[in-house]
Chain A
Amino acid sequence: MTFVVDDPIIKLEQLVFSYGDTRAVDGISLDVGSGEILGYIGPNGAGKTTTVRILVGMLQGFEGEAFVGGHDLRTEPLEVKRLIGYVPESAALYESLTPQEFFTFVARVRGMNDDVSQLRSRRLLELLGMKEGYDQRISGFSKGMRQKVLLVAAMLHNPKVLFLDEPLSGLDANSVVTFKEVIQQLADRGRSIFYCSHVMDVVERVCHRIVIISKGRIVADGTFEELQQMAEAGSLEHIFTRLTSDESEEQVASRFVEVLFEDGFDA
């Protein structure tokens, strides 16, 4: 099943990436249009993060074609990096800096004026409920506060494409609602969002289109309704397990418990 997009902002043609002998990404072709929120999901080790790292210009040495905003990632990774924002999954931050200092660093590299970037970042962080934290060291922050710093750092320059890898992890319920709404409004204004997550109900509700990958290949590509029809299942969670696993999850669970009780070592 392929999805036709006019004038795609992200374009992948037969993308292949190997770590030594293992093929993490095994021939993925995909187009994403402007204003589209794409949900990119798959089991652990399916190749999601690898795909994203190629698309943001962190990983070279791939086979096939990869374009973002019309720029070839092989020859013009710099142009791509200028266009995009990236929130890595549970990423480390320099603990001894304050958010203000981190934002200023990132913004300067992107050629933003200090006055603009400081005003922007202060207001954005304040809107996410972190008025206090702006000039405190990151070392004292909770997981959720760090995540907010990552989100603001990735969006500060108002990127054309946002790559989000598990962006809501650690956020409180209020911020989750806010951020989901932010993503949708950005899409309405023509920004594209590439959204990786394991939280199925968020993907189900937020994304316009969902791509499921397994073992480095696309196994499904379409709107939520199309996937429902294809897999003959109700929720995205069920569609997901049906498409990416050979065995029923109940069977796996009971075998898991069985192993624990098998040979007599008991705490």
Chain B
Amino acid sequence: MLKWVVLRAMDLLAPVFRSAGLDDSTLRAFLDVKLTMDNRRAGSALYRNVDRKANNALWMTMIMYTLSGGIFAVILSRSTTLLAGMTLLFGFMMVLLGMSLIADLSTVLLDTSDFQILLPLPIDGKTLAVARILHVAVYLGLLVLSLGVFPLIAGTSRMGASFVPLFLMTSLGIAVLLVSATQAIYAFGLETLKGERFRDAVVYLQTFMVAFLMLSYFVTMRLSDMDVRIGIDLSRAWWVYLLPPAWFAAPFDGVAGSWSLTDIILSTLAVVMTLAALLLLLLVFGPRYHREVADLSVSGAGRQRNRRLGDEDSQFSAHPGISRSLRNGRPLTRSPAEEAAFGFTWAMVGRDREFRMRTLPLLALIPIYILFFLFNSQSSLSETLAGLRESDKYFYILYVVAYMAPASLLSLRYSTNWQAAWVYEVLPFQKAGEVLSGAVKAVVVRFYVPIFAAAAAAVVYVWGIRVIDDVLLSGTATLVAILLFSITAGRRYPFSEEFVVARGAGRSGLLMIFVFLPVMFGVIHSIISRRAPLLVWILLLFSIPAVGWLFRRLSQVEESQVRRQAARAISRSNSDS
């Protein structure tokens, strides 16, 4: 359905592409094959129901975006001036789209897996670059449309029917600006850092960008509150010209009322910047970025830079010691096979780019969420700090950590190398659960324990030792949440699945359920702590054996209960049998 619409649109636009010196039939063929692949797991051609599932995930994402659009509508309808309202709305929209562009769609932008096929074909660089951008634009467009539903209603009721075409045009401009900015950043990164180092840097770049975007999200929220309370007269502030959302908001102000000088300057900026971004995208960033990505894939083997891993770095170094036995998980694992899975996962999580790409941004969000929860009041910073000790806001800190934990486990199943998961099928594991419990233990020890320890130390420092029971109970509650997730929805071998954009974007749907679990624990815990403090100690006493029992349950999971993409791909690929 989506593909059909996109391809019809491509047919209509073909003359435009041709006049821009692009090969329209190549563009069409590229989008056709890419959209087909997005909706499929590798080797699942026989399994139609799997395809449908991928589509469902996309629908879920779109519904979630539509709902988030509701917030925009509220902001818009209660803002004092149209300029302020639209600036805030577009600010929000840029943050959300930017996040999805960086987090999920970067897989498309930095995809080098198809270069072996594409590079030998007679496709010029410009066409290929545009094709890739269009592929991203399809998804970006869907998200924009979903986000726009509620704001369109709110906006039309406020300024009339002219809102609709204006909104669509400005959204298009924003999308162009965002894609161009992303491309510019990647092009710059590829230029300065070569090969494998760039890929590593991207992970950190993404972490930083997600954190930055999230921060601006909260700032926008605060601004909206400020606007409602005291009103912000943007048209008088000199820095309004530095705000990209304001450029695109100005035409609304102009069309609805009268065109002030500020409106005209800002609107001109919007048009000029969009055109400049488009030109840069097509003529400079696109082709250059593409050449660089091509280099990346050719030198991608990184043979020239294949450094030897020292004993320190290697997980299974021959020197015995505390750190070694910890990395091997020997004191924590119950069987050699579980120990093997622990060591393997420990080594992989530190290195698998896919895993780091999905996990690090999440971890970066933890401090920002915490800041947001602690200081999201109307009062000034010093007042907030003074009041903090009397409040029980430490629950936020502890349970934000809990909230992130299942998310990192959700990424554990993905790998660029997922096909290597055939080893699980060949090796004599007593129970498939041994792999799962070994892997979960490794992730818990490597990621969760340090973060929890830091959060716990901070909480005890501020609130004193008297809250230690709450701290400890939040720890075991998080473990229970992690284990419940692993035993149910998380029954997958680590690093055994391919990350597909259309489906990956929808993982938030599944995550919601398990995000909800720690939040629920947190609410119940805070109530118990207030009403019956003694019960906290009792629960703590019971939760420890519960964690042990759940780990044992996890290690008892049968092979038939584990969903295995690689195995399905194997049993499907009869072409080489």
Contacts and interface: CB of A to CB of B under 8 A. Distances in A.
Chain B binds chain A: yes
Interface of A: 19-20, 22, 24, 44-51, 53, 56-59, 78-79, 81-82, 86, 88-89, 91-98, 100-101, 104-111, 114-115, 118, 135-137, 139-140, 142
Contacts of A53: 570-571, 577
A24 B572 CA distance: 11
A49 B422 CA distance: 14
Contacts of A96: 347-348, 351-353, 417
A100 B316 contact: yes
Contact residues of A: prevailing secondary structure: mixed
A137 B303 CA distance: 9
B523 to A, nearest CB: 40
A92 B422 contact: yes
Interface string B331-354: 000001101110110011001110
Contacts of A105: 340-341, 343-344, 423
Nearest to A44: B576
Contact of B426 (A46, A47, A86): A86
Interface stretch (B83-91, B233-241, B306-314): B306-314
Contact of B574 (A19, A89, A104, A139): A19
B274 interface: no
B516 interface: no
Contacts of B574: 19, 22, 24, 45, 49-50
Nearest to A154: B426
Contact of B301 (A92, A100, A140): A140
Contact of B428 (A59, A110, A115): A110
Contacts of A97: 344, 347-348, 351
Nearest to B318: A118
A20 B570 contact: no
A104 B316 contact: yes
A144 B337 CA distance: 29
Contacts of B576: 44-45, 49, 89
A118 B430 CA distance: 23
B65 interface: no
Contact of B430 (A45, A56, A78, A86): A78
Contact of B336 (A49, A92, A108, A135): A108
Nearest to B560: A60
B428 A78 contact: yes
A54 to B, nearest CB: 10
B121 to A, nearest CB: 13
A86 B427 CA distance: 10
A136 B49 CA distance: 41
Given A46-B577, A140-B303, A109 B309 contact: no
26 contacts: A24-B574, A56-B426, A58-B422, A58-B426, A59-B570, A81-B426, A88-B426, A91-B420, A94-B420, A95-B417, A96-B348, A97-B351, A98-B314, A100-B316, A101-B344, A104-B315, A105-B340, A105-B423, A106-B423, A108-B343, A110-B428, A114-B316, A136-B306, A137-B306, A137-B309, A140-B305
Contact of B577 (A45, A82, A140): A45
B415 interface: yes
B428 A82 contact: yes
A110 B347 CA distance: 19
Contacts of A110: 427-428
Given A91-B422, A94-B417, A108 B577 contact: no
A104 B306 contact: no
A139 B302 contact: yes
Interface string B402-430: 00000000000001110110110111111
The 10 closest A-B pairs by CB, nearest first: A108-B340, A140-B306, A92-B419, A96-B351, A81-B428, A50-B577, A92-B420, A49-B577, A104-B316, A105-B344
Nearest to B430: A78
A19 to B, nearest CB: 5
Contacts of B572: 19
A110 B337 CA distance: 8
B540 interface: no
B380 interface: no
Nearest to A49: B577
Contacts of B378: none
Contacts of A93: 417, 420
Interface of B: 46, 301-303, 305-309, 314-316, 318, 336-337, 339-341, 343-344, 347-348, 351-353, 415-417, 419-420, 422-423, 425-430, 495, 567, 570-572, 574-577
A81 B352 contact: no
A136 B417 contact: no
Given A96-B353, A140-B301, 16 more contacts: A20-B46, A44-B576, A45-B576, A49-B574, A50-B574, A50-B577, A53-B570, A58-B422, A58-B425, A101-B315, A101-B343, A101-B344, A107-B340, A109-B341, A135-B308, A140-B303
A44 to B, nearest CB: 7
Contacts of B309: 98, 135-137
Contact of A109 (B318, B352, B427): B427
A114 B315 CA distance: 12
Contacts of A24: 574, 577
A19 B46 contact: yes
Contacts of A51: 577
A96 B427 CA distance: 20
Contacts of B428: 78-79, 81-82, 109-110
Contacts of A22: 574
A20 B257 CA distance: 66
Which of A82, A107, A108, A137 has its CB near the most chain B CB atoms (within 10 A)? A108
Which of B309, B353, B429 has its CB near the most chain A CB atoms (within 10 A)? B309
A98 B314 CA distance: 8
A75 to B, nearest CB: 14
Contacts of A135: 308-309, 314
A22 B415 CA distance: 31
B316 A118 contact: yes
Contacts of B305: 140
A108 B422 contact: no
A71 B148 CA distance: 62
A140 B305 CA distance: 8
A45 B420 CA distance: 22
Nearest to B301: A140
Contacts of B318: 115, 118
A88 B422 contact: yes
A66 to B, nearest CB: 16
Nearest to B349: A96
Contacts of A82: 428
A59 B573 CA distance: 12
A89 B575 CA distance: 13
A166 to B, nearest CB: 9
Contacts of B340: 104-109
B336 A111 contact: yes
Contacts of A106: 340, 423, 427
Contacts of A20: 46
Contact of A57 (B316, B417, B423, B426): B426
B236 to A, nearest CB: 55
A171 B504 CA distance: 38
Nearest to A96: B351
Nearest to A140: B306
A91 B351 CA distance: 20
A2 B415 CA distance: 46
Contact of B308 (A88, A104, A115, A136): A136
Contacts of A101: 314-316, 343-344, 347
B337 A109 contact: yes
B416 to A, nearest CB: 8
